Amino acid sequence: MRKPVSAFAVHAVLALYTALALFPIILVIMNSFKAKRAIFNTPLTPPMPWNFDPIGYSKVFGDSAIATYYMNSITVTVGTIFLTLLFGAMAAWALTEYKFRWNTALAIFLSIGIMVPIRLGSVSIIQLVSDLNLINTLTALILVYVAQNLPLAVFILSEFIQQIPRDLREAGRCDGLSEYNIFFYIILPLLRPAMATVAVFTMIPVWNDLWFPLLLAPTGGKQTITLGVQQFLGQYITDWNAVLAALSTAIIPVLVLYVIFSRQLIRGLTSGAVK
Amino acid sequence: MADVKIGNLHKSYGTVEVLKDINLQVEDGAFVVLVGPSGCGKSTLLRSIAGLEPITSGAISIGGRNVSDLAPAQREIAMVFQSYALYPHMNVENNMAFGLKFAGVPKAEIADRVNEAARILQLEPLLKRRPRELSGGQRQRVAIGRAIVRHPKVFLFDEPLSNLDAALRINTRVEIARLHKLLKATIVYVTHDQVEAMTLADKIVVMNKGRVEQVGKPLELYYRPANLFVARFIGSPAMNTLAATLDGKGKAAAVAGVSLPLPAAVSGTGEITIGFRPEHCSIGKTGIPARVELVERLGETGYVHARTADGAALLVEVKGDPGLAQGAEVRVAPAAGHLHLFDGEGVRLAGT
Ligand SMILES: Nc1ncnc2c1ncn2[C@@H]1O[C@H](COP(=O)(O)OP(=O)(O)OP(=O)(O)O)[C@@H](O)[C@H]1O
Ligand SMILES: [Mg+2]
């Protein structure tokens, strides 16, 4: 039996950590509803009738470009998640299930991808993207993000695939399924928890990234929301209401995605792949 | 249903030869059991028949059709795995119907076949459950059901009962025997449980180190093992074996200093091995001298563990309590007609 004291201690630490993590977010959301003066004078007071001012939100929603930036971010994130999971799972399956000539070399190559930050290659990526005429397109961002996330996805998914009993795949073969059908109808459903894990690890850095949007899609209405918010940050004047409102609303889509994945995620973290 | 013919089958993993020149015939409707020690290649042979392992050379034909290069699904076999291998994300009904859907069987017929299998295996109340909501025995029945619905030409079982507890194992064994009669199916069945092999098989194939040692009816293997390996492997507890010397006249063999009369005329001289089963010998006034080491009393029967002066172990089955103590000097006499003779290579002597 665990002593209640230690359980209490664990929860105290967790609560402290949660508070620490949530504090800035709550601060941003609180202040996004306040008048500019109140933001600076009393940053820690919650929005009250006397300091309430939705001007930031009306600016953000009034600005049609911002809506486009949202859609851009969502498209890039969802596209990246989808392609990373699909190709990651397929590659992981191929690398674990089939023996072919370059199997080991390929696996090592991918694990190097985990260790080397993709930003080191920024210059050649810009060159490549510009040669492909993909500057200022969402395609460029999605391609780069998929490349960035694929190695870790393959690595994590391989671990899970290895835990799927061999008999299950062979039962599929005896049942007359093609290799693709085995993958799509037996392996993928069993990988759901693992894929949720990968999805969460993938989506947050992609959603928050400023680097590649700045390099590859800085203009032409293809900015992501993190980049789009910058328009409210001026060298001399910053529209804090708008910045805070934009940041607050930017939390919502990731939150929704997280809720979608979280049930599976927790199963993935606690259970291993398949019993 | 169909017969299975395996000719000169070899299988290697890299440089390791796991199956060496296997030749085997399984008649239409026969129940063939593969037995052998762990690692002898039983599963590999079964998986080769299923098409899950590519073979190195040789040929496998099912129902007169050479299937050596066909995919598992095209061989019209069904395999029941030791781990059951039920799809965890599908309920019982879909587990059974899954393969049929991909084979393009019409919906109505799928339902018919699934219902029939469910009826035969008493799975009807469980059709909507997921595998994890089933007991081991129920999962086993679903695995068999999934094989039945495919109407395969050959059923392949790889140690299907080894995950069940003792009581359930007996029930399921009887069940499988009943199914075999009902479906008139050709079955190849791997086990290392002797009782399963003896009770289920029309024909037992004893394997050792990738070779087939002997093929025969259960009692044939018991009464006339073709070599020392089979002699020691079949029967529980195992057969007693002792080194002996032929007297050259074919009348007797010298064992541990005494001369044992031989059943039939055996020609030749030299070193041989004699064998007799614990249930085919008795403790008496004549026979091989030995010293009692341990007496096990199991109730109706008992076992006397003894050792000869040369250090060879002997086991004798006795009725009731033999009234012997540890250290007692006894003589063990093999029953007439139950003495097995093997030459220097361990092969049964001709004419015995
Ligand atoms: N993929 C593989 N690569 C290399 N060797 C293998 C492979 N699979 C099996 N073997 C070897 O082949 C031999 C036969 O294995 P197999 O599984 O057929 O044994 P078995 O008779 O079924 O044993 P058990 O009763 O323990 O199931 C073993 O020595 C094993 O080490
Ligand atoms: Mg095996």
Residue A165 within a domain: yes
Residue A77 within a domain: yes
Residue A144 within a domain: yes
Contacts 24+ apart (CB under 8 A), B217-221: none
Same domain, A111 and A158: yes
Give which of A160, A163, A174, A191 to mutate to test B binding, by max B Cβ within 10 Å.
A174
Ligand 1 atom with the shortest distance to the CA of B47: 18
- How much is the mean pLDDT over chain A? 87
Same domain, A207 and A72: yes
Same domain, B188 and B127: yes
Ligand 1: residue whose CA is nearest its atom 24: B38
**C-alpha span between A189 and B65 (Å, rounded):** 36
Same domain, A171 and A255: yes
Identify the domain containing residue B332 by its residue range.
Answer: 237-342
Closest residue on chain A to B77 (Cα): A174
Indicate the residue among B180, B208, B227 that finishes a domain: B227
In this predicted structure, what is the pLDDT of residue A63? 78
Same domain, A22 and A103: no
Same domain, A37 and A87: no
Question: Residue with structure tokens 């057969």?
Answer: B239
pLDDT band, residue A275 (cuts 50/70/90): very low
Taking 90 as the threshold, does the pLDDT of residue A235 lie above it? no
Same domain, B188 and B254: no
Phi-psi region of A188 (alpha: psi -120 to 50; beta: other; left: phi over 0): alpha
Q: What is the pLDDT of residues A220-230, one digit of tens each?
A: 888 898 888 88
Same domain, A159 and A236: yes
- How many CA atoms, within 13 angstroms, populate the side-chain half-sphere of residue B336? 4
Same domain, B56 and B36: yes
Residue A112 within a domain: yes
User: Is the separation of the CB atoms in B305 and B313 below 8 Å?
Assistant: yes
User: Which of the pair, A75 or B323, is modelled with greater confidence?
Assistant: A75
Same domain, A79 and A207: yes
Residue B320 within a domain: yes
Same domain, A40 and A121: no
**C-alpha span between A198 and A146 (Å, rounded):** 12
Strand B57-62 and strand B4-13: the pairing is: antiparallel
The answer to whether A168 contacts chain B (CB < 8 Å) is: yes
Same domain, A78 and A128: yes
Determine whether the interchain pair B73/A175 forms a contact, defined as Cβ–Cβ distance below 8 Å.
yes
In this predicted structure, what is the pLDDT of residue A2? 54
Strand B186-190 and strand B154-158: the pairing is: parallel
Residue B347 within a domain: no
Residue A269 within a domain: no
Q: Is A47 helix (H, G, I), strand (E, B) or coil?
A: coil
* Ion ligand 2: residue ranges with CB closer than 5 A: B 43
Same domain, B129 and B183: yes
In this predicted structure, what is the pLDDT of residue A273? 41
- CATH code assigned at B139: 3.40.50.300
Same domain, A68 and A36: no
Residue B349 within a domain: no
Indicate the residue among B227, B245, B266 that finishes a domain: B227
**Structural domain count, chain A:** 2
> Which of A171, A176, A190 is opposite residue B81, by nearest beta carbon?
A171
Taking 60 as the threshold, does the pLDDT of residue A272 lie above it? no
**Structural domain count, chain B:** 2
Q: Tell me what percent of the residues of chain A surpass a pLDDT of 70.
A: 94
- CATH code assigned at B294: 2.40.50.140
Identify the domain containing residue A45 by its residue range.
Answer: 1-53
Taking 90 as the threshold, does the pLDDT of residue A154 lie above it? yes
Residue A189 within a domain: yes
The reply to whether ipTM tops 0.85 is no
Residue A271 within a domain: no
- Measured between beta carbons, which residues in chain B are less than 8 angstroms from residue A165? 83, 85
pLDDT band, residue B12 (cuts 50/70/90): very high
Same domain, A164 and A136: yes
Same domain, B182 and B312: no
Same domain, B294 and B218: no
Same domain, B281 and B181: no
Residue B350 within a domain: no
What is the DSSP secondary-structure string of A190-203?
A: HTHHHHHHHHHHHH
Taking 70 as the threshold, does the pLDDT of residue A245 lie above it? yes
- CATH code assigned at A186: 1.10.3720.10
Taking 60 as the threshold, does the pLDDT of residue B132 lie above it? yes
A184-188, A222-226, B35-39, B301-305: least confidently modelled range: A222-226
Residue B94 within a domain: yes
**C-alpha span between B155 and B29 (Å, rounded):** 10
Same domain, A87 and A126: yes
Residue A196 within a domain: yes
Same domain, B112 and B51: yes
Indicate the residue among B195, B227, B259 that finishes a domain: B227
Same domain, B16 and B100: yes
Sign of CA dihedral B339, B345, B347, B349: negative
Q: What is the pLDDT of residues A34-57, one digit of tens each?
A: 888 888 888 888 888 888 888 888
B39 lines ligand 1 (CB under 6 A): yes
**C-alpha span between A66 and B55 (Å, rounded):** 63
Residue B232 within a domain: no
CA angle at A254 for the pair A250 and A259, rounded to the nearest 5°: 140
Same domain, B157 and B182: yes
Same domain, B216 and B273: no
Same domain, B216 and B248: no
Q: What is the pLDDT of residues A111-134, one digit of tens each?
A: 898 898 888 999 999 999 999 999
